[in-house]
Amino acid sequence: MPLKSSNLEQSRWFAEEVQPHGASLKAYLRGSFPTVRDVEDVVQESYLRVWRAKMAGSVESARGFLFCAARNLAIDFLRQRRRSPLKALGDLAALDVIDDRPDAFEATAAHEKIILLGEALDTLTPRQRQIVILCKLQSKSHREVAELLGLSEKTVTEHVYRGVQRLGAELQRRGLRRFPS
């Protein structure tokens, strides 16, 4: 039973002698140490130090001890930040940290597809390969390719159709399921 009355007495002391100074302590810290961002942490740690000191029986003035502890903690926070090699970054959401480049797997897969496409193109006749490259890879129209090679548009269309069919079959044979048109 004496233990419970002691706890009640300590809680009453804290509620009457320490907590009422919380608002003025925060104002003091914000005014005296404007670069300390964690004022709430300093206040809570100060409360803890006052409580421990009271349990040890060495607190004569709760207010004086509280403000002295808070000042020392704020100074420690500033010293720690000055020593810390880490720099404050500000708003992390505003940082451009997303890397849109393909990762190693995507880059390797794309490289392998290009190699497969090159090998598949080698299975076409030279004329088909030339026409498919001009139409499909260089995005030239059938009319432009016909004029460039001195062929009819119908011949170019036929070479593109047969070449793409053959490419698709060859790529499928090599394990590539979908061929981009």
The answer to whether the CB of 29 falls within 8 A of the CB of 39 is: yes
- Answer yes or no: is pLDDT of 147 > 90: yes
Query: What is the rounded CA–CA span in Å between residue 167 and residue 161?
Result: 10
Average pLDDT of every residue of the chain: 83
pLDDT of 85 strictly over 90: no
- Whether residue 86 is predicted with pLDDT greater than 90 in this model: the reply is no
Over 80: is that where the pLDDT of 50 sits? Answer: yes
Q: Are 121 and 129 in contact (CB under 8 A)?
A: yes
Q: Which two tokens stand for residue 85?
A: 């090699």
- Assess whether pLDDT exceeds 80 at residue 90: no
Q: How far is CA 67 from CA 31, 45, 150, in A?
A: 13, 11, 93
